[in-house]
Amino acid sequence: MTAQIPLDLKLAPDYSAASFLHSQSSAAVRAALSQTDMWANHALAITGAKGCGKTHLGHIWASDMDALCLSGADDLEPDGAWRGRYIWIDDAALAKEFTLFTVINLAITGEIKGLLLTDRAAPRTWPVQLPDLGSRLRNIQTAKIEEADDELLIAIMGKMFKDKGLKVKDDLISFLLTNTERSAGALRALIDDLDREAAARKTGMTRAFAAKYLQGKLL
């Protein structure tokens, strides 16, 4: 069968509160997010592995607080319009040091209502050069999303397929959980690859297809 290049027609991920998969692994983070007015120096950092739900929780918090949503991957510069707002910075370790230093200071002084930072690593480990920024990052309140258990990984995979508009059987999800790396990030990358291959070959997303893909037997 001749493979065809699929159109990139990805559905937007569902970041609604109703679609978040609650589990014990995120309990401490959810509790911290529900108590924004009690954050030390009006700031909180959420950490955890890729795909664990940091961004999803960030969207939920931002929606609840009418927060300004920013990305550290963008070329962020301090902005006077930030004052008086709640601010969320995803991939915060990528932000410019001066920008991070400024926004954390705005949180400490109460010039912004609250600052949420999300990233894989804890702020104290971010490789920064500004000594004063390093000191602030070492002291920022932090909550971590722990590793997901099997029940949660199964639910996460189901949501990943649903976000792509795909309805799959339980045997496919069980097969992937048993035969691949057991992390949300690795499973997301694999499901993305499977989706592209299935679309290119105009075939269904089945256990048999996934097995052939993992064994390198697709023709």
DSSP states of 77-108:
---GGGTTSEEEEETGGGS-HHHHHHHHHHHH
How far apart CA 105 and CA 110 sit, in angstroms, is 8
Is domain 23-144 annotated with CATH 3.40.50.300?
A: yes
pLDDT of res. 11: 59
* Cα angle 8, 12, 18; round to 5: 155
How many angstroms separate the CA atoms of 78 and 151, rounded? 42
**What does pLDDT average to in each consecutive run of 10 residues of the chain (219 residues)?**
48 82 90 97 95 92 97 93 96 97 97 97 96 96 90 88 91 91 86 92 91 81
Q: Model's pTM, two decimal places? A: 0.74
How many Å separate Cα 10 from the centre of its chain? 17
Going from the C-alpha of 70 to that of each of 99, 103, 180, 199, 206, the distances in angstroms are 12, 12, 33, 33, 38
121 touches 56 (CB < 8 A):
no
User: Strand pairing of 43-47 and 142-144?
Assistant: parallel
Q: What pLDDT, on the 0 to 100 scale, is given for residue 73?
A: 95
- Residue 51 has a pLDDT of 81
